[in-house]
Amino acid sequence: MNLSQATALPSTPRGDATHTFARLVVWATLPLILFGGSITSLDAGMAVEGWLTVESSQGERLLWLYPIEDWFQNIGQFVEHSHRMVGTVVGLLAIGAVIAAFATGASSTARKVTILALVAVCVQGTIGGFRVLENSPQLAFLHGALGQAVFATLVAAAVVTSPRWTAAAPVAHESASSLKALATRATVSVYVMIVSGAWLRHTNDPLALSLHLLLLFAVLAAVVLLFKRLLDFKGGLAHLATSGRRLSWIIKAQVTLGVLAFLAVMVWYGPSATGVHDSILPTLHVLGGALLLGQCLAIRLWVGRLLKQEVAA
């Protein structure tokens, strides 16, 4: 087929409330990941005791009534309480996406994916709460590893609720099946590497570091091959090429951040950060992992939506 003549992806109509809320959830989750990563980097997971009701200098308070002077008392309390407050915003926006999906008569798929996103956010928040109540390192690891999967779920909701997704028509292509398999492999390998990174950050286990570095080669092989194959798409399928270029930028930035984070932890500052200056690089590396995972999953979804296997004559 002539890719330049394909018209699979019309321009996005404006004003879709469900998609707007879904995108806002994704954007709000980015600072949530930054604050969450900072908590691990600074070992500030118990800086504010309690969950829905928390301990403060003025006694027990509801989470949302935590005294501002305690909030800004030190870096640990600031990042811990900020993480919880941004998490509240993410939860409210996820509720808004579900309400919008039903109020505006969105498709059954859009309703289901917004509900799934809300459930994922609630489960993640609950695990985070019990992590504090139980002071559990195991739940801290689970909260960190699962958080990236939740972010990917939110990205999927933003993709599937897009009017462009609804309007797109699949185009027959000889490489549809292989591209789907490659995008799936890239997504899975990135997430497995993220889990190994969470294991490393929460335990400083040398075995976790070895596994993390070993998985780097599998991730690079899958991601590089994926974005190179996507760059050839043109015309109505140019969105795939754009996604491929975005993926190439993210993987380059993530590898760079990984090297800098390794130097920060192993050479410059040591594994125990004491301030923003020595926690920022590992934390940004965590955010980079989330963006990489989200982009790989978005590409997998779009490849499945825009391409169908061409049947041999």
The domain spans of the chain are 12-167, 170-313
Q: How many other C-beta atoms are found inside a 10 Å radius of the C-beta of residue 101?
A: 26
The DSSP bridge partners found for residue 171 are: 307
Q: Would you state the pLDDT for residue 308?
A: 82
DSSP for 120-188 reads HHHHHHHHHHHHHHHT-HHHHHHHHHHHHHHHHHHHHHHHHTSHHHHH---EEETTHHHHHHHHHHHHH
Give the pLDDT score at 9: 47
Give residue 273's pLDDT: 67
- According to CATH, the topology of domain 170-313 is Four Helix Bundle (Hemerythrin (Met), subunit A) (1.20.120)
The pLDDT assigned to 107 comes to: 87
Residues lower than pLDDT 50 in the chain: 1-15
Question: Quick one: pLDDT at residue 311?
Answer: 57
Nearest to 242 by CA among 252, 256, 232: 232
